[in-house]
Amino acid sequence: MKRFAGWTLASPATVLVVVFLVLPVLATIVTTFTTPDGPFATYAAFFASSFRRTVLFRTIQISLVTTVIALVVGFLTAYVVSRAPGWLKSILIIAAVFPLLTGVVVRSFAWLIILGKNGILNSTLLNLGLIGEPLTMLYTQGAVIVAMVYLFVPLMILTLVGVLESIPDDLIQASASLGAKPIATFMQVTLPLAVPGLIVGAVLVFTGSFTSYATPQLLGGEQVMMMGTLMYQQAMVTFDWVAASTIAAVMVVITIAIVLLMTRVARRLNPMVT
């Protein structure tokens, strides 16, 4: 009876999710299997193109590098924030969340000003005499990764602060009282208990990076084309919706695969993870 009541209460939300989220994605993917050339023709064409393969691997590479850097930076920051006294913690969290108050385009645009030929970074290096002429930093993979890390680190911090705060101080003290050095305590107590937060943060950052459009478009352009920009090009310029849907399907499959892989890794690191 309880189970029935639970299903009844959940059914309106479930119907909404299925109708407005799941069905449109399925409808998009179905179109890729119903072409006159056969069910897998569009996928064969996608993977036969060296350019599309390059874009796919580049997107995975940039997303993974962004995720790893965001994990390191986010974890260190979140650790400091979680250990800070109350008033300082509030200030640090506000500082971390502050960039989220502006749009993705604005935050990406800021990096145009920082990394440009006449930008803040080049001007500083020139004034210090460290370089003789401006460096080309924009429209490179490095520029895209830097901007993506900046975009997603706040999410990682917010995710991890809650997890790190929930680790009881008693455990840390117990570890120390049993003779563990701070590094051993960190590696054997803090880090394993933070794994759920790390996985959630990593999934958020990876999927965000993998599907991003504005940042690669502004800071990478055609030279650093990613899956999102390629999909836009196919849909809005060549009007090839089947090709665009194929790209979307490939992105969905890879995202699911990465999430499953991360969950598996998390289970190994911490068997408590479900």
Partner 1 sequence: MKNVIITVLAVSAAALLSAVPASAQGKTLTISWWGFNGEKLEAIVLAPFRAQCGCEIVFETGNNGERLNKIQIRNGAGVDVAYFSDSFSQQGIEAGLFQKIDPSKLPNLAGIYDLAKDPQGGYGPAYTIGRVGIVYDSAKVTTPITSWNDLWREDLASSLSLPGITTTAGPMVVMKAGEHAGVDAFADPDAAFAAVDALKPNVVKNYNTGSEMINLFSTGEVSAAIAQDFTLGQIQAAVPTVVWADLAEGSIATLNTVNIPVGAAEPELAYEFINFILSPEIQQQLAEQGVDAPVVTSVTLTPEQAALWTYGADLIAGLQRIDYVQMNAAKGGWVDRWNEIFGM
**Which C-beta is closer to partner 1: that of 76 or that of 131?**
131
The answer to whether residues 254 and 260 touch, using CB atoms and an 8 Å cutoff, is no
| Residue 206, helix vs strand vs coil | helix
Q: Min. distance of Cβ 77 from partner 1 in angstroms?
A: 31
Q: Min. distance of Cβ 69 from partner 1 in angstroms?
A: 24
**Which C-beta is closer to partner 1: that of 81 or that of 224?**
224
| Two tokens, residue 74 | 């986010």
Q: Min. distance of Cβ 54 from partner 1 in angstroms?
A: 6
Phi first, then psi: what are they for 213, rounded to 5°? -125, -50
**Which C-beta is closer to partner 1: that of 113 or that of 171?**
113
Q: Min. distance of Cβ 216 from partner 1 in angstroms?
A: 11
Q: Is the dihedral of CA 64, 70, 76, 79 positive or negative?
A: negative
Residues at the site binding partner 1, with contacts judged by CB under 8 A: 49-51, 54-55, 112-113, 116-119, 136, 138-139, 217, 221-225, 230, 233, 235-240
Dihedral through CA 172, CA 205, CA 265, CA 272, nearest 10? 50
The answer to whether residues 116 and 122 touch, using CB atoms and an 8 Å cutoff, is yes
**Which C-beta is closer to partner 1: that of 49 or that of 166?**
49
**Which C-beta is closer to partner 1: that of 189 or that of 235?**
235
Q: Min. distance of Cβ 33 from partner 1 in angstroms?
A: 21
The answer to whether residues 194 and 167 touch, using CB atoms and an 8 Å cutoff, is yes
The answer to whether residues 51 and 190 touch, using CB atoms and an 8 Å cutoff, is no
